[in-house]
Amino acid sequence: MTGIDTPLTRLLGIRRPILLAGMAGGPTTPELVAAVSRAGGLGVFGLAGMNAAATHDAVSLAIAHSDDAPVGVNVLISPAVPRPGADPAAMDAVLAPMRAQMGLPHPPPPGAAPATPLELVEAALDAGARVVATGLGDPAVVAGAAHDAGAPLIVMVSTVDDARRAVSAGADVVVAQGAEAGGHRSNFEVPPDHEVPLVGTAALVRQVVHAVDVPVVAAGGIMDGPGLAAALALGASGVQLGTALLVAEEAGVPAGWRDRLRHARDDESVITRALSGRPARGLPNALTEALEVPGAMGWPQQNAVAADIRRAAAAAGDADHMSLWAGQAAGLAGPDRPAAQIIDEITDGAIEAMRMLGDLAG
Ligand SMILES: Cc1cc2nc3c(=O)[nH]c(=O)nc-3n(C[C@H](O)[C@H](O)[C@H](O)COP(=O)(O)O)c2cc1C
């Protein structure tokens, strides 16, 4: 297997500086996590929304198929974000007809309370996870558990200030998440009533590299070998891929979402609070448009309000009513193929790009 050696690969004990973004809510199946780890990257589960027992089972299953390569887990810290003018009745008026049309009960049956980040991390470590990653908040609540188990702590940030806070809280690796990234913005604090700062990947990675003395990983808009080579040139020790691996055959992503991704234009994704109450980048659809109304609530209430609709739509392959998280470079995703092939293509493409750049000198 062709490898690329960086401070990140040495710290994590992997051959290739490519992390699968833990993507909660379905994409990161045990099969995808195991396939990325077997291919020399780090497979990471997105655990947010799961319970401890399901976490233990899923992590154990991935480890059983990872050929002894390390497997990581990701939790969302995500403190509450209130929203001025929140009005549950306004949301009800939007959702009741949608549920009627989809044949779902209104109101939906109450769901179980989600496990805390610490409960999820403890269950994952008990099952044998060897790396802990966090997004969307100060990681202090899980840092002790990770370090007591000897697991490196990877913390995703979207600003230089949060990168410094992450390291003070115990981060062994910082993921610099640029504005291009699909999914939720990873700012530790989100203002209730104005936009989050949006720093592009190149600008953020370079400044985070200067600000902290732990390995930095670039995230946001990286889809191929030249993207990995560019991240390494900026001083990153590796990349974290979300969107690029949504088209892996092993990913838990319905066909309609895959099709929207590979046909997405560069300017098509939007950052919206409509689906969860926190800003996140995805492709617009009927659901985001319907929920973008006065009275929409904050995090976590807004995330729960249409969860039954998103789940039913994902099960039915209905791309109009599920969340379609996607980064700005989604249009480069290409056809469905095995995760190992995507990791091989990115590694080989980066090595080729680095050689080509070397040839330019002199
Ligand atoms: C479908 C999807 C789900 C995501 N879920 C999570 C998550 O559960 N935890 C997390 O830390 N980041 C999550 N992210 C964000 C990624 O960690 C990462 O920042 C982003 O995917 C990088 O940009 P890219 O999508 O252009 O590769 C998610 C991203 C996507 C696309």
Atom of ligand 1 nearest to the CA of 175: 19
The reply to whether ligand 1 has any atom less than 6 angstroms from the CB of 180 is yes
Hey, whose CA ends up nearest to atom 18 of ligand 1?
Answer: 242
Backbone angles phi, psi at 18, to 5 degrees: -130, 120
Atom of ligand 1 nearest to the CA of 245: 27
Q: Are 5 and 23 in contact (CB under 8 A)?
A: no
Hey, whose CA ends up nearest to atom 13 of ligand 1?
Answer: 23
Out of 157, 184, 228, 266, mutate this one to test ligand 1's pocket (max ligand atoms within 8 Å of CB): namely: 184
Centroid of ligand 1 to alpha carbon of 181 (angstroms):
7
| β-strand partners of 46 | 74
pLDDT for position 235: 98
Hey, whose CA ends up nearest to atom 1 of ligand 1?
Answer: 325
The reply to whether ligand 1 has any atom less than 6 angstroms from the CB of 74 is yes
The reply to whether ligand 1 has any atom less than 6 angstroms from the CB of 42 is no
For 98-102, the CB contacts below 8 A with 24+ separation are 98/287, 98/290, 98/306, 98/309, 98/321, 99/308, 99/309, 102/309, 102/312, 102/313, 102/318, 102/321
The reply to whether ligand 1 has any atom less than 6 angstroms from the CB of 183 is yes
The tokens describing 291, both together, are: 């929920």
Distance (Å) of CA 194 to CA 190, 191, 320, 325: 8, 6, 27, 21
pLDDT for position 193: 79
- Cα–Cα distance measured from residue 97 to residue 90, given in angstroms and rounded to the nearest whole number: 12
Centroid of ligand 1 to alpha carbon of 351 (angstroms):
25
Out of 199, 325, 328, 346, mutate this one to test ligand 1's pocket (max ligand atoms within 8 Å of CB): namely: 325
- Cα–Cα distance measured from residue 31 to residue 239, given in angstroms and rounded to the nearest whole number: 21
Backbone angles phi, psi at 239, to 5 degrees: -130, 155
pLDDT for position 114: 87
Map out the domains of the chain as residue ranges: 7-80+113-267+328-360
Centroid of ligand 1 to alpha carbon of 177 (angstroms):
9
E strand segments, 183-332 = 183-184, 216-219, 238-241, 270-272, 280-282
pLDDT for position 192: 87
The reply to whether ligand 1 has any atom less than 6 angstroms from the CB of 21 is yes
Taking only the tens of pLDDT, the chain with its 362 residues reads: 999 999 999 999 999 999 999 999 999 999 999 999 999 999 999 999 999 999 999 999 999 999 999 999 999 999 999 998 999 999 999 999 999 999 999 989 988 888 999 999 999 999 999 999 999 999 999 999 999 999 999 999 999 999 999 999 999 999 999 999 999 999 999 998 788 999 999 999 999 999 999 999 999 999 999 999 999 999 999 999 999 999 999 999 999 999 999 999 999 999 999 999 999 999 999 999 999 988 999 999 999 999 999 999 999 999 999 999 999 999 999 999 999 999 999 999 999 999 999 999 87
Centroid of ligand 1 to alpha carbon of 20 (angstroms):
9
- Cα–Cα distance measured from residue 11 to residue 281, given in angstroms and rounded to the nearest whole number: 30
Hey, whose CA ends up nearest to atom 5 of ligand 1?
Answer: 23
CATH classification of 7-80+113-267+328-360, choosing from 3.20.20.70, 1.10.150.120, 1.20.120.530, 3.40.605.10? 3.20.20.70
Hey, whose CA ends up nearest to atom 10 of ligand 1?
Answer: 135
Centroid of ligand 1 to alpha carbon of 299 (angstroms):
17
E strand segments, the chain = 18-20, 43-46, 71-76, 131-135, 153-157, 173-177, 183-184, 216-219, 238-241, 270-272, 280-282
The model carries a pTM of 0.97
Centroid of ligand 1 to alpha carbon of 208 (angstroms):
19
Query: What is the maximum span of the chain, computed from C-alpha positions, in angstroms?
Result: 69
pLDDT for position 32: 98
- Cα–Cα distance measured from residue 56 to residue 112, given in angstroms and rounded to the nearest whole number: 17
- Cα–Cα distance measured from residue 238 to residue 14, given in angstroms and rounded to the nearest whole number: 11
The reply to whether ligand 1 has any atom less than 6 angstroms from the CB of 23 is yes
